[in-house]
Structure 1
Amino acid sequence: MAGAASPHRVAVLVRDGVLPMELGLVHQLFGAARSVRGEPLYSVVTCAPVPGMIRTDADFPIRADHGPEALEHADTVLVPASHEEDESYEDGLPPALTAALDRIPPGARIASICTGAFVLAAHGLLGGRRATTHWLSTDHFARTYPTVRVEPEVLYVDEGRVLTSAGEAAGIDLCLHMIRRDFGAAVAADVARRTVVPPHREGGQAQYIPRPVAEPDSASTSASRAWALTRLEQPLTLGELADRESMSVRTFSRRFRAESGMTPMQWLAQQRLARARQLLEGTDHTVDRVAAESGFGTAASLRQHFQAALGVSPRAYRVTFRGPGGSSEVDRRDTPGSRPKFGRGPG
């Protein structure tokens, strides 16, 4: 982890057709990350395969003063989308872009925003890995790169060194996740507050995909979600949730999935997992107590859900985000595992 005296170096690789929003959000979010002493935790530079004026998808260009040499010193490289180029790489990347990507150090982290995933795939970085991109492009992406395991409904996928995110605003979720991974939940939450965005969004991009309206009644299931969030520690059934909306279980389940992109029980498990993560990050509760207060009931159930969703044990998660000395009451039956994956859903 980079310290305040040596900021984590982020290079943003732009191309003609870059979306200004995607470029701006990277600078804004990483630029807002500060240590407890107020020192910047990241340094961010914009570079291009060939420095100079770069067209955007708006009515103004940008100037990239740095060339591909900036990639040689990066700890993280971010590739925003280009609406001009991304879906035209079936025959390979342009030589200048390939040469630029080849200058990335072997240990650097590489991430894409939106259809920037096409660049990573064309360069051979996603073969055999899970990845996502904008929902409008996932079918084309899967056809073009059949060895990539496309996850079309999530906001981002973390495969360790390589990360991908969905459409433009999902870049915010991805950047906050990387900040959280680098410097912990408190820093990421502070960045979210400074930039007035949620530190974590519910659901995946499935909720933003247009669907035919099955019936004219547009009743929402939001009241049941608000009710459930106040009693996550209690056993909750599908019937109880449906009763809050005065719907049959079948109707409730159908409308809930249309609104959130997941089943009620999947959503409930996700919220309980988020509560458990908050408790592990912000308290010294034992794993048994965290399990009880988050609604998983037992430590064994909590461990099972953590392993399935994040790829680590609760203790390993706590060590990652609070440091080895962050708790004196951790259940010692847990042993540290690999770094959390987070890619099975929105982090």
Structure 2
Amino acid sequence: MQRIGFIVYPGFQVIGLASSTVFEIANIANGAPIYQVDILSEDGGKVQGSAAVAVDSQPFGRRHYDTLIVCGGTEVPKPSPKLAAYLRAKLQSSRRIASICTGAFVLAEAGLLNGRHATTHWLLARELQTRFPTVTVEEDRIFVVDGPIWTSAGMTAGIDLGLSMLEKDAGAELARAVARKLVIFHRRAGGQSQHSSLLELEPKSDRIQAALTYASKNLRNALTVEQLAEAARLSPRQFSRSFRAETGQSPAKAVENLRVEAARLMLEQSAHPIDVVARETGFADRERMRRAFLRAFGQPPRTIRRNAEPLDQ
């Protein structure tokens, strides 16, 4: 039986424990126990969360854990020296160590994310990258697996993390059964976006916004800089300079993001063949769309579509 420990500390967010239900239901659905789940803290006893909820916990000790999961908090947590040392020691003996939401800051402070890829809640991803430059922060991922280290985005992404762990441990069939019992339509893949990439653009002027609106309505066309500049009523040179200054992206990158977003929605919400999706969203062919998906999501279109299928099919 695999032993899983959820690590809490004063101010932890209770929703971080929601993913423990994945392992609880897995035991029931399997017909025999697979997991033993414990709640851990430095000294054990009652630990007050960020809401009006306190939980009982066991103190750190020498007990072996296959998996340790650090919960997040509403504030960015800073681990005590004892917690950081515990995590560093357990990296040598545990199969995997994970974090939910801002728990990534705990792993980073302990040095477990050095040289690794990781994610956290999108609101705090830039802060994580700034404070820990040796970490490659994938700020638009539901969860990231880098060797023995698993990190997830905020809130319900911890459930996706748990389901992915279950699938790896016991297979896709049991993971689907657990998701059904949890009334989850489908398990989101780790590479899926936390939110629309266009939220990052936020153009400041009506002219750049007009160009983006034009692009989103004409994705099937070539969309050259000259066409976008005309929509913005600027010269191509002025447009390119203003666009990058206002959005932080080149026009070509922004158009690719628009196309990828539109293509992802078509794949998830329609039965159109991939060739049709590529054509309708302005990719010259399916191979070009595949490369764009790998850049954006770390997964090809077929995987995105498969992960969008209802689990009870």
Q: Number of residues paired by the alignment?
A: 246
* Offset from partner CA, 1:240-269 (integer Å, 9 cap, x none): 35xxxxxxx59xxxxxxxxxxx869968x7
Q: Does 1:53 align with 2:46?
A: yes
Q: 1:189 to 1:271 in 2, by over 3 A?
A: farther
Change (3 A) 1:77 1:224: closer
Cα distance between partner residues in 2 of 1:48 and 1:85? 17
- Matched residue, 1:207: 196
Name the aligned partner's letter for residue 266 of structure 2. R
Equivalent position SS for 1:126: coil
**What are the ranges of 5 or more consecutive residues in structure 1 without an aligned counterpart?**
1-6, 242-248, 251-261, 279-347
Deviation at 1:189, TM superposition (A): 0.7
RMSD over aligned CA atoms reads 3.6
1:78 corresponds to which residue?
Answer: 69
Query: What is the DSSP-based 3-state SS (H/G/I as helix, E as strand, rest coil) of the residue aligned with 2:276?
Result: coil
Whether the 8 Å contact between 1:74 and 1:105 is mirrored in structure 2 is no
Structure 1 residue 52: Cα displacement: 1.7
Which of 232, 241, 266 is the matching residue for 1:225? 266
Normalised TM-score (structure 1): 0.61
Task: Spell out, residue by residue over 1:75-134, the C-alpha distance to the aligned partner (whole angstroms, 9 max, x if none).
Answer: 000001123452xx4xxx422323432552623110000010011111111111101111
The one-letter code matched in structure 2 to 1:207 is S
State how far apart, in whole Å, the 2-side matches of 1:272 and 1:103 are. Answer: 40
State the TM-score, normalizing by the size of structure 2.
0.67
Bigger shift: residues 155-164 or 217-226? 217-226
CA change 1:239–1:105 in 2 (3 A) is closer
In the alignment, the residues of structure 2 paired with residue 83 and residue 227 of structure 1 have an alpha-carbon distance, to the nearest angstrom, of 32
- From the two aligned structures, give the one with the greater helix fraction: 2
For 1:192 and 1:144, locate their aligned partners in 2 and report how far apart those are by CA, in whole Å: 36
1:335-346 pair list within 5 angstroms: none
CA contact (8 A) 1:113 1:166 kept: yes
Distance 1:123-1:226 versus aligned 2 partners, 3 A rule: closer
Aligned residues of 1:111 and 1:162 also touching (Cα < 8 A): yes
In the TM superposition, residue 43 of structure 1 has moved relative to its aligned partner by 1.1
Aligned to 2:93: 107
Select which of 28, 33, 36 maps to 2:26: 33
CA distance in 2, matches of 1:224, 1:67: 46
In the TM superposition, what are the counterparts of 1:228-239 in structure 2 within 5 Å? 229-232=270-273, 235-236=275-276, 238-239=278-279
CA distance in 1, matches of 2:154, 2:306: 28
The percent of aligned pairs where both chains have the same amino acid is 32
Query: What is the aligned partner in structure 2 of residue 95 from structure 1?
Result: 81
Q: Indicate which of 174, 177, 183 corresponds to 1:190.
A: 177
What runs of 5+ residues in structure 2 fail to find an aligned partner? Answer: 204-208, 218-260, 284-291, 309-313
The amino acid of 2:105's aligned partner reads F
Residue 205 of structure 1 aligns to a residue in which SS?
A: coil
1:132 aligns with 119
The answer as to whether partners of 1:53 and 1:61 remain within 8 angstroms in 2 is yes
